[in-house]
Amino acid sequence: MYCIHCGQPRPFDAAFCPHCGRALDIAQPPPPAAAGLPGSRIPLVPWRGGQVAYGILLVLVSIVPVTLLATALGSLAGRYDVALSVWTSSHLMGLSILVVVWALGLRRYRVNLSALGLGAPRMPHTLWPLVSLGVMVASLVATIIYSAIVSFVPTDILLPPEIPGEIAFPGPAAAATFQALAVWTPLTEEIFFRGFIFAGLAPRLGPWRAMLVSALVFSLFHLTLGLLVPV
């Protein structure tokens, strides 16, 4: 239970909030936005491990119909069947993720997008492009370094998976592939794995163990341990 005034956790049968001291009315709904953990940037979200596990199960179940539908649509595209299948599955899986997060998190507990860590950057607008570019470059460099290190390991299980060229549409249509794989999929996966899973586990497991669990779940979803460390 959460205080309707300050958003902090409070005992179920308390008459007054132990944090802000204001009177509680248990008939009122929870606050519209979840508060952050004191002294931390980790959002204090109302869902916990039970909702996280249920959400993971629902997304796993959705993989089957999404794959079947994407494959069926791809078969109509001739030699671009792989590209269309990938584009379709990307969008359908993203929609499945958003529905699960909305149903088990946002709608159920009446919280807004800030509970998922979504919001405007707290920096001047002129710095947004530079920071985005810097993060992208840092991510690429870290992946290259990681790949170089694990290349000395006598097994390919820790290597990030190679991306086949046939997943992209040809010519200008490649922009659609970019939109699906470089914008839509990363955004929805960030919402699910970090905004929903990590944030739901962090209050109980702590940030480091929650980070490890969410990264492990991410790797298992992609059927490769080579993504565990980069993530």
Helical ranges in 163-206 per DSSP H: 174-178, 185-189, 199-205
Q: What is the structure's pLDDT at 12?
A: 66
Closest residue by Cα to residue 63 from 87, 101, 92: 92
φ, ψ at 23 (rounded to 5°): -65, 145
Q: What is the structure's pLDDT at 178?
A: 93
CB 194 within 8 A of CB 202: no
Give me 86's structure tokens. 């990938």
In tens digits, the chain (231 residues) has pLDDT values of: 666 665 566 676 666 666 666 666 644 444 444 444 444 455 578 898 999 999 999 999 999 999 999 999 999 888 889 999 999 999 999 999 999 999 999 999 888 888 888 877 777 878 878 888 888 888 788 878 877 887 777 766 666 667 777 889 999 999 999 999 989 999 999 999 999 999 999 988 888 999 999 988 888 887 665 555 555
**Residue 137, CB-side half-sphere exposure with 13 Å CA sphere:** 6
The DSSP element (H or E) to which 2 belongs, if any, is: none
- Give the chain's length: 231
Query: What are the residues whose beta carbons fall under 8 Å from the beta carbon of 13, sequence distance 6 or more?
Result: none
Residues 83, 169: Cα–Cα separation, whole Å: 6
Does this model's pTM top 0.85? My answer is: no
List, as own/partner pairs, every contact residues 69-76 make where C-beta atoms lie below 8 angstroms and the sequence separation is at least 24, other chains included.
none
Closest residue by Cα to residue 69 from 48, 43, 87, 55: 87
Query: What are the residues whose beta carbons fall under 8 Å from the beta carbon of 208, sequence distance 6 or more?
Result: none
